Amino acid sequence: MSGWTTIWVLVLVVLAGTGGWVTAPKGPNQVLIRTCVLLTLACCYIMWFSR
């Protein structure tokens, strides 16, 4: 796996996290939804990266 591939995937994960943060619906569960989205993306990236 190339170092550039790792960086590009990280950029995509950060963009997806930003999109999830911005588009989370307003309401009492907004923090929970944002946390779940960011934690899921971080865990998937770490699992992919350590493979």
**Sequence letter at residue 18:** T
> What confidence tens digit (pLDDT) does each residue in 25-36 have?
999 999 999 999
Distance CA 44, CA 40 (A): 6
Cα–Cα dist 32/51, whole Å: 28
Q: Residue 46: its pLDDT value, please?
A: 95
- pTM of this prediction? 0.87
Q: What is the pLDDT along the chain (51 residues), one digit of tens a residue?
A: 678 999 999 999 999 999 999 999 999 999 999 999 999 999 999 999 887
Rg, C-alpha atoms of the chain: 13
- What pLDDT was estimated at residue 2? 79
Nearest-10 crossing angle of helices 3-23, 30-49: 170
